[in-house]
A = this chain, B = another copy of it.
Amino acid sequence: MARSDTRFREAYNQLLMHCETLPLEGEIPSEMQLAEMVGVSRTVVRRCLSRLKEQNVISWEGREKRLLRRPRVEDRIAMPEASQPTRDLEQRFLGWVLKFDVPANTPLSVAELSRTFDVPQYDLKEFLAGLSRFGLVSRRPKGGWMLLGFTKEYAIELSDFRSVLESNAVMQVAEAPVDHPVWDALAELRQDHLALKAAIDTDFHEFSKLDERFHQTINSVVKNRFIAEFQKVISLIFHYHYMWDKTEEKGRNAAAIDEHLKIIDALEARDGEAARDAAQRHLRTSKTTLLSSLRHHDLG
């Protein structure tokens, strides 16, 4: 009932590996050096050395440490099977919400989420606390958490916010120096848009990926940690919704391609104002699409 000793196990195995590179009776480096090597505190190193001595792999007397015998495979400590990485929890959680169409104002059970996502409860608590800053979840008065979005209001506010951020991004692109990599990327995007436009009848579902790439390219010009953080969530949400709303998909995508091309035109002409206007028109369309996809869910 306490913190796991994964650190110790990992360090122990690493030290074993290091021992294999040493000659028999060879001198083992100082505790501090070992700690540095393995990226762990001296406390852990000493625990490892204790065990190595116990197992008669090394001798250890004061600062004299020597290799007694060659380490064997069975000397290694088994690692507790690594659970799913907590890293992409955000992706998985938002995906779950959108895929299963979890309605607004659903109580979230940390215990249950912990099971579905195979993530310890305290990691989830931390994660949810972070999401609450985006207004996606909140604490319930009687304890626990609650999923707030995606209501119509949320979608509207998110779209508006996206509009604000992306208008700014477009303006910045227009003012980027000629040798900025964004220009090559845009030229390539133009080709890909034209290619898809030509094959729209069969390949229209390919647009989703292209769309994401387009917006990412535009936004990559803005070097701002706050905006970047939000973009991650925004693009995820829009992306998922489009994937699920299949009504009029071909027509919608064809129209979006033209809108994108207009933005590229304006940008390459270095006309910031025109680009911003084109971008805003495009984002208004996106907003409408997002809202109508919500309406379909309501009815279905």
A residues lining the B interface (CB < 8 Å): 39-41, 122, 125-127, 129-130, 132-135, 141-142, 154, 157-158, 160-161, 164-165, 168, 223-227, 229-230
Contact = CB atoms under 8 A, between A and B. Distances in A.
Contact of A168 (B129, B132, B164, B225): B164
Task: Return the 9 tightest CB-CB contacts between A and B, nearest first.
Answer: A129-B129, A126-B129, A135-B225, A133-B133, A157-B224, A161-B226, A164-B168, A130-B133, A129-B130
A234 to B, nearest CB: 9
B158 A226 contact: yes
Summarize A's interface: helix, strand, loop or mixed: helix
Contacts of A134: 133, 226, 229
A276 to B, nearest CB: 12
Nearest to A153: B225
Nearest to A157: B224
A122 B125 CA distance: 9
Contact of A126 (B125, B164, B226): B125
A134 B228 CA distance: 10
A220 to B, nearest CB: 15
6 contacts: A126-B129, A157-B224, A161-B224, A164-B168, A164-B227, A226-B230
Contacts of A224: 157, 160-161
Nearest to A171: B164
Contacts of A141: 39
